[in-house]
């Protein structure tokens, strides 16, 4: 009996691998982790293609109440579906550790993730430094770790991939205080909001790490047929329309002349190659 953690790709129900699909079809229970990332298809579409009922697994279930999943996996084959690749997020690494501590056998089925899909833009993959996340601002605390990550990567000539915050199936602070389990409306940070965030930090710190003239690349819906990639100065990308989620932002480090040529392709909105 095994807990199968299966990557299902970046776009829709068709991105699962044949190996992953075979495992899903023979699993007694199938969960979908639906808070670190989302697909561009419905749960119904997944169920129709996979031929299985799917249980939505929110943050509470995966991070705090995981025993129900793990205990089932001791007795039967259970699948946990993850958008992208299963091991790209710390959440899933922690989940695997907890499973092994409980003696649950683990099987990982890999798939495409944003970490590899960014290769589309033409920057050399081995020149990416630390990946960072940009979160929605909060009036009570300020996060600037992503600015620091860009700074550190730039000092080493490395590119920075910025993953942008999403809020899915999460209660508001007001509802938490009231003891209500009502969720907020889903929110997805845009490239434009991420740039505004970085420019705001720059206005206070004045370290010239991310200015209006900083060259960057905004990406949306990588892995889909209608992906958008736009390269240019930060002030230019602020005015661009990247469309539907999910978005990410890349801040290049030192560019090789071949990378400079590649970025010229994306100086206007284009379909991905």
- Domain at 100, CATH number: 3.40.1010.10
Q: What SS3 state is found at 133?
A: strand
pLDDT of residue 163: 97
For residue 120, with 0-12 CB atoms within 10 Å meaning exposed, 13-18 middle and 19 or more buried, which class applies? middle
**120 and 245 housed in the same domain:** yes
Residue-level pLDDT at 176 = 54
Judge whether 221 lies within some domain. yes
- Rounded alpha-carbon distances, angstroms, from residue 248 to 3, 115, 152: 30, 11, 19
Mark whether 138 and 119 lie in a shared domain.
Answer: yes
What percent of the chain is predicted at pLDDT more than 90? 74
Asked if residue 270 is part of any domain, the answer here is no
Count of the separate structural domains present in the chain: 2
Same domain, 127 and 13: no
Per-residue pLDDT tens over the stretch 181-222: 666 788 999 999 999 999 999 999 999 999 999 999 999 999
Look at residues 101, 114, 116, 89 and name the one whose alpha carbon lies nearest to residue 5: 89
- Distance, in Å, from the CA atom of 93 to the CA atom of 10, rounded to the nearest integer, reads 19
Give which of 16, 72, 21 is closest to 41, Cα–Cα.
16
Residue 229, domain extent: 115-264
Looking at the structure, tell me whether residues 238 and 127 fall in a common domain: yes
Residues 6+ apart with CB under 8 A from 243: 220, 221, 226, 228
pLDDT less than 50: residues of the chain:
none
């Amino acid at each position: 009996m095994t807990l199968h953690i299966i990557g299902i790709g970046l776009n829709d129900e068709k991105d699962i691998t044949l190996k992953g699909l075979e495992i899903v079809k023979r699993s007694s229970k199938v969960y979908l982790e639906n808070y670190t990332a989302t697909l561009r298809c419905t749960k119904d579409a997944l169920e129709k293609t996979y031929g299985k009922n799917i249980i939505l697994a929110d943050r509470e279930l995966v991070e705090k109440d995981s025993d129900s999943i793990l205990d089932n996996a001791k007795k039967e084959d259970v699948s946990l579906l993850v958008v992208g690749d299963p091991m790209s997020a710390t959440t899933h690494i922690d989940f695997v550790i907890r499973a092994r501590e409980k003696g649950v056998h683990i099987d990982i089925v890999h798939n495409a993730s944003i970490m590899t899909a960014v290769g589309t833009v033409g920057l050399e993959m081995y020149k990416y430094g630390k990946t960072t996340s940009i979160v929605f601002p909060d009036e009570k605390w300020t996060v600037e770790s992503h600015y620091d990550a860009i700074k550190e990567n730039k000092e080493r000539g490395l590119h920075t991939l910025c993953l942008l915050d999403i809020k899915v199936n999460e209660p508001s602070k007001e509802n938490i205080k009231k003891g209500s389990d009502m969720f907020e409306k889903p929110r997805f940070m845009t490239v434009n909001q991420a740039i505004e965030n970085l420019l705001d930090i720059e206005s206070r710190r004045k370290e010239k790490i991310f200015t209006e003239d900083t060259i960057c690349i905004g990406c949306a819906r990588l892995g889909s047929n209608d992906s958008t990639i736009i390269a240019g100065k930060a002030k230019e990308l602020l005015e661009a329309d990247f469309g539907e989620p999910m978005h990410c932002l890349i801040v290049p480090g030192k560019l090789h002349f071949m990378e400079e040529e590649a970025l010229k392709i994306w100086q206007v909105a284009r379909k991905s190659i």
